[in-house]
């Protein structure tokens, strides 16, 4: 279990959900992981769970200064990074006619701006043949009610991935997009799904997913590991959908 032995991985939003599952799996595969998030207590708990291979830095991904701090930490402590996973994101489900300026700015600030300036800051410190993984969404391809702004942010991330796959090619750096479908994470609670409603929500969503269930964070983490490791050494510029086939319907 050492496909990432000797590697350094940075995972934004690595304190929960898909980001945490990916960071933990990267560490299990031999990587040193740097995780980021906005909640210090959640980061501390994540580091305790992952173990001594993890360090954390707290901050807001919408703030370019935070990304410069992450890049400085990576440079000073590890000499560079081999994997950068831009995972941090937010989603607010609102019909377009009701979207406020603040809601719009928050989603684009965290999802698109955070991804762009995170890669801009870390790029000089990425090793040759590094892997960049940008977490997108099924919503960038499939129209979902109330997701117009969120879909726009994820479509922007897809454009970044394609552009960077060519921009960084001379350094052998691969850039790919990982697009989850509905996944059983704490984001369901942030979307207003109460704990007692989770089962009904999952059953309702299952009807729209060919594999008839929500995804699990560890399944997305295994897909991220594929993109992070040499198993995908000839893969760049793709959008890897891990959505149970939902994009087909």
- Known catalytic residues are 150
Measured between alpha carbons, how far is 154 from 132 in angstroms, rounded to an integer? 16
Task: Give the list of residues 6+ apart from residue 26 with CB closer than 8 angstroms, or none.
Answer: 4, 7, 9, 11, 33, 83, 224, 225, 228
Task: Give the list of residues 6+ apart from residue 50 with CB closer than 8 angstroms, or none.
Answer: 23, 24, 27, 33, 35
Q: Contact, 212 vs 206, CB < 8 A? A: yes
> Which residues are registered as beta bridge partners of 117?
none
């Amino acid at each position: 279990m050492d496909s990432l032995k000797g590697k350094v991985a940075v995972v934004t939003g690595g304190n929960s959900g898909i980001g945490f599952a990916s960071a933990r799996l990267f560490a299990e595969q031999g990587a040193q992981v740097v995780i980021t998030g906005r909640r210090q207590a959640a980061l501390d708990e994540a580091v305790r769970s992952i173990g001594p291979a993890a360090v954390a830095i707290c901050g807001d991904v919408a703030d370019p200064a935070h990304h410069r701090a992450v890049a400085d930490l990576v440079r000073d402590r590890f000499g560079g990074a081999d994997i950068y996973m831009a995972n941090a994101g937010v989603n607010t489900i609102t019909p377009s006619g009701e979207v406020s300026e603040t809601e719009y700015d928050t989603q684009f600030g965290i999802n698109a701006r955070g991804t762009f300036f995170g890669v801009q800051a870390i790029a000089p410190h990425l090793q040759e043949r590094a892997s960049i993984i940008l977490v997108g969404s099924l919503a960038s391809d499939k129209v979902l009610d109330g997701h117009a702004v969120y879909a726009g942010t994820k479509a922007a991330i897809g454009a970044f991935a394609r552009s960077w796959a060519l921009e960084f090619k001379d350094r052998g750096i691969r850039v790919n997009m990982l697009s989850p479908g509905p996944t059983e994470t704490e984001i369901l609670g942030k979307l207003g799904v109460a704990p007692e409603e989770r089962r009904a929500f999952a059953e309702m969503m299952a009807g729209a997913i060919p594999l008839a269930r929500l995804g699990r964070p560890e399944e997305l983490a295994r897909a991220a590991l594929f993109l992070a490791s040499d198993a995908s050494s000839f893969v760049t510029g793709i959008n890897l959908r891990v959505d149970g086939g939902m994009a087909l319907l």
